[in-house]
Amino acid sequence: MKKNKIMKISDQAKLQEKCGVICVTGVPDAAELCLTGLHALQHRGHEAFGVASSVDGKINVTHRLGTVMANSADVPKCSSDKAIGHVRYSTSGNASFSQPVYLRCPFGEIAIAHNGNLINADELREILKKRGCIFESDVDTEVLVHLLALSKEETYIGKITEALQQVKGAYSLVLLINNEVFAVRDPHGVRPLSLGRLGDAIVITSETCALDILKATFVRDVAPGELLEIKTNDVISHFPLERKERKFCIFEYVYFSRPDSLLEGRSVYTSRKKIGMQLAHESNTKSDMVVPVLDSGMVSSIGYAETSGIPLELAITKNYYSGRSFIEPTQDLRRIRVKLKHNANRELLQSKKIILIDDSIVRGTTLKLLIAMLWEAGTEEIHVKIASPRMMNPCYYGVDTPNKKDLISANLSVEEVRKYLGATSLYFLSLEGLYKAVSGSDVRKNFCDACFTGDYPIK
Whether residue 158 sits in one domain with residue 43: yes
Whether residue 387 sits in one domain with residue 296: yes
Classify residue 297: in a domain, yes or no. yes
Whether residue 303 sits in one domain with residue 161: no
Whether residue 365 sits in one domain with residue 226: no
Q: CATH number for the domain including 196?
A: 3.60.20.10
Containing domain of residue 350, as a range? 271-453
Which residue ranges are tagged as binding site? Answer: 249, 296, 358-359, 395, 448, 451
Beta strands in 48-168 (DSSP E): 48-55, 58-65, 82-88, 101-105, 108-118
Whether residue 101 sits in one domain with residue 25: yes
| pLDDT of res. 96 | 55
Residue 343 is which amino acid?
N
Whether residue 285 sits in one domain with residue 227: no
Whether residue 179 sits in one domain with residue 309: no
Whether residue 242 sits in one domain with residue 167: yes
Crossing angle of helices 268-282 and 431-439, in 10° steps, is 140
Please report, in tens digits, the pLDDT of each residue of the chain (459 residues total).
333 333 333 345 566 557 999 999 999 999 999 999 999 999 998 889 999 999 988 999 999 998 998 888 878 888 899 999 999 986 334 555 789 999 999 999 999 999 999 999 999 999 999 999 999 888 899 999 999 999 999 999 999 999 999 999 999 999 999 999 999 999 999 999 999 999 999 999 999 999 999 999 999 999 999 999 998 888 999 999 998 999 999 999 999 999 999 999 999 999 999 999 999 999 999 999 999 999 999 999 999 999 999 999 999 999 887 654 434 445 566 667 777 889 999 999 999 999 999 999 998 988 999 999 999 999 999 999 999 999 999 999 988 776 898 899 999 999 999 999 999 999 999 999 999 999 988 778 899 999 999 999 999
Classify residue 266: in a domain, yes or no. no
Which residue ranges are tagged as binding site for [4Fe-4S] cluster? Answer: 249, 395, 448, 451
Classify residue 260: in a domain, yes or no. no
| CB atoms inside a 10 Å sphere around CB 179 | 16
Residue 365 is which amino acid?
T
Whether residue 328 sits in one domain with residue 439: yes
Query: Which residue from 446, 438, 75 is spatially nearest to 429, judged by alpha carbons?
Result: 438
Q: CATH number for the domain including 382?
A: 3.40.50.2020
- Sequence length of the chain is 459
Task: Point out the residues that are catalytic.
Answer: 19
The string of DSSP letters for 11-62 reads: S--S-EE-EEEEEEESSTBHHHHHHHHHHHTGGG--SEEEEEEEETTEEEEE
Query: Which residue from 271, 100, 245 is spatially nearest to 174, judged by alpha carbons?
Result: 100
Give the count of domains, the chain.
Answer: 2
